[in-house]
Amino acid sequence: MKTIQVKLGNRSYPIHVESGLLEQLPSLLSEQNHGQKWIIISQYRLMEFFGFNLLDNLKQAGFSIDFITVPAGEAAKSINEFNRIISQMIEMNCDRSTTILALGGGVVGDVAGFVASSFMRGIDYYQIPSTLLAMVDSSIGGKTGINIAEGKNLVGAIYQPKSVFVDPSLLDSLPTEEVISGLGEIIKYGVIYDCDFFAEISQGLDDLESFPFEKAISRSCEIKADIVSKDEREGDLRRLLNFGHTIGHALEAHFGYGKLRHGEAVSYGMICAGWISNQLGYFSNDDYTNLKNVIQKLPLPPLNKFDANTLLPFIKNDKKTIAGELHFVVLDGLGSASTSNKVSGDLILTSLKEIQ
């Protein structure tokens, strides 16, 4: 089993990566079971795939456990769903000792983590990511949240899990499109932090059937853990993880959450951000061409025609805008990134021609 530490003092926690890990959870969690109520938060389809089996195994191991399901897609990350989960937990006699298991992709992890951060002013939770995107990104670092009409994740908290359990064998249940979405985030880690890893990803994408998923997941988790350990609350270094996200989030909001997958939107956003980096003189022509070629190895869905101006309101509401000034993540080279406050709305609009 590969174990990676997120080092945050008394809030430190491990990320465990191993195929077949789900079957080991009753024994891995046994020391944390003190007779409290446990709640699995998941989607019903995932409960059918492997959640009910986990539920039965935990019950047989002496856990007092129940489950709550949320809708598929970003619809789960709403105020109404948040309220419904809280109400169900109260009906199930949950209290301050209750522990949540977030079993699912980024949506489940975000809403379950936010519930954990706020129920009884904060209870313990564990992340059990079921999608590639969640395994390498959203399950690590404690970002939780829900969406409102004005934008994605504008209500939330940074609230760290007790541990993250990554079982790459769960990817077998994923549609190909979800795997592609996760590969977009894996590319991001290489391009902002590790040029050798970026080169390995590029080579691996030439044959998706033999892509080294467990190795790529472990390295992505190492990079995310290292960044979060140095900058938990996104004061500086952690902002680099948002490479491609400013435009990616705007594309998601414009086309509708769930209609364009997060990793797909971020992949398009990375192309635009790479072009902007090049135009500002930070990123060479060859490096931009290389980045764009690697991203285009992914079978991304074509974007419907859109008016670029419609994205600007979403970009202005971006969480990386501080005192009216956008801190945009740019590339200084393959494997190196920084933030810039020199990225104008006009430059962003022009960059969208690269993906239209």
10-residue stretch averages of pLDDT, the chain, 356 residues long: 97 97 97 98 97 98 98 91 97 98 96 98 98 97 90 88 98 92 97 98 94 97 97 90 94 82 95 98 97 97 90 73 72 96 91 94
Sort strands 124-129 and 99-104 into parallel, antiparallel or unpaired: parallel
User: 192 — alpha (psi -120 to 50), left (phi > 0) or beta?
Assistant: alpha
Q: What is the pLDDT of residue 257?
A: 66
Look at residue 315 in the predicted model and tell me its pLDDT: 80
Angle between helices 285-295 and 195-204 (to 10 degrees): 40
Domain at 175-198+232-354: CATH architecture: Up-down Bundle (1.20)
Q: Within a 10 A sphere around the Cβ of 163, how many other Cβ atoms?
A: 19
pLDDT for 188 equals 98
pLDDT at res. 278: 98
Which residues belong to the active site? 121, 143, 185, 224, 234, 238, 242, 245, 249, 262
Where do the structural domains in the chain lie, given as residue ranges?
A: 2-172, 175-198+232-354
Structural class in CATH, domain 2-172: alpha beta
What pLDDT, on a 0 to 100 scale, did the predictor assign at position 316? Answer: 73
| Predicted local distance difference test score (pLDDT) of residue 323 | 47
Predicted TM-score of the model (pTM): 0.93
Residue 321 has a pLDDT of 54
CA atoms in the 13 A half-sphere facing the CB of 13: 20
pLDDT at 256: 78
Contacts 24+ apart (CB under 8 A), 60-63: 60/26, 61/26, 61/27, 61/30, 61/33, 62/33, 63/26, 63/29, 63/33, 63/38
